[in-house]
């Protein structure tokens, strides 16, 4: 498809053809879909309205706005940062370069926490939850939205991440049930002496030497702090697991997301903590062991 020239764009359909061609030439992964998202963002339309508007005229200032977004995408800036949000578990979350973009695999972490919590406790029982590594707040705030009787705490070393997560909490109307702490992983909770029912975390898990090999969309824009898991990728899992005897309530649940080939090692770290009685490993849709759940069922 030849690239459409700017002066030939008269309606929404032509804008879509032009934008798709532009992104295709730039080598983006899904040019037609991303072009649609950008145009809908500028025109402030849902998909049904967008499809119905194909013959409608488009204004020059709208074309200029679309072109600005296209240039950012051609520079391999993630589309989620360009649009300022990402859908996660059916809800739209604000995202910005200060936080990792929520991934679909992490929705499996939510599913397993909800499923296993029902196996241990009654659905109505109020529970305390700590999420280590706030990011956009996708994990904490989704659990808060799904479970109105849970009280949640989330810890992140990044003030930028906490600021964005607080915006998302207000957007989802759960801010009154979530405590945000700026601090170094487990340390703020250990200092309080609290014991919690559920610990959940999707910590940085990419080995330091592998971070520089990541796709340029990730390496060039997403925060390295949210990617680098130390020399072997396990530094944060070790710290959390070592603290489990002090952190986890006598009846408790721990759930992690892990990277490729990491599941067995993290499962062993959980068992070696002495605080976990049973461990379950679950694959993602690609068949990669991705989610680990552990139970503490003794005093």
Annotated binding site: 133-137, 156, 202-205
Between CA 184 and CA 103 the distance in angstroms is 23
Which parts are annotated binding residues for substrate?
Answer: 202-205
Region of 214 on the Ramachandran plot (φ > 0 left; ψ -120 to 50 alpha; else beta)? beta
What is residue 44's three-state secondary structure?
coil
CA–CA distances in Å: residue 44 to residues 33, 47, 48, 62, 251: 16, 10, 12, 11, 48
Closest among 117, 129, 188 to 153, alpha carbons compared:
129
Which parts are annotated binding residues for S-adenosyl-L-methionine?
Answer: 133-137, 156, 202
């Amino acid at each position: 498809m030849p690239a459409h020239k700017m002066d030939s764009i008269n309606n929404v359909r032509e804008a879509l053809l032009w934008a798709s061609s532009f992104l295709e030439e730039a080598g983006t992964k899904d040019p037609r879909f991303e072009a649609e998202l950008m145009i809908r963002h500028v025109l402030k339309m849902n998909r049904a309205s967008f499809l119905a508007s194909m013959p409608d005229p488009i204004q020059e200032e709208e074309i200029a706005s679309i072109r600005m977004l296209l240039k950012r995408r051609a520079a391999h800036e993630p589309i989620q940062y360009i649009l300022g949000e990402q859908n996660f578990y059916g809800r739209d979350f604000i995202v910005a370069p200060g936080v990792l973009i929520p991934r679909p695999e992490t929705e499996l972490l939510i599913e397993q926490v909800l499923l296993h919590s029902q196996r241990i406790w009654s659905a109505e029982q109020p529970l305390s939850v700590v999420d280590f590594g706030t990011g956009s707040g996708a994990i904490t705030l989704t659990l808060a939205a799904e479970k109105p009787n849970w009280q949640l705490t989330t810890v992140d070393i990044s003030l930028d991440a906490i600021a964005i997560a607080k915006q998302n909490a207000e957007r989802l109307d759960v801010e009154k049930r979530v405590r945000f702490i700026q601090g170094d992983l487990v340390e703020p909770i250990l200092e309080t002496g609290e014991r919690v029912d559920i610990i959940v975390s999707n910590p940085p898990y990419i080995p330091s030497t592998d971070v520089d090999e990541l796709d340029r969309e990730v390496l060039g824009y997403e925060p390295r702090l949210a990617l680098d898991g130390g020399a072997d990728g396990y530094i944060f899992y070790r710290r959390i697991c070592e603290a489990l005897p002090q952190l986890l309530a006598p009846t408790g649940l721990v759930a992690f997301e892990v990277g490729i080939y990491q599941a067995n090692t993290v499962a062993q770290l959980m068992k070696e903590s002495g605080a976990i009685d049973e461990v379950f490993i679950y694959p993602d849709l690609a068949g990669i062991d991705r989610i680990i759940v552990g139970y503490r069922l003794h005093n």
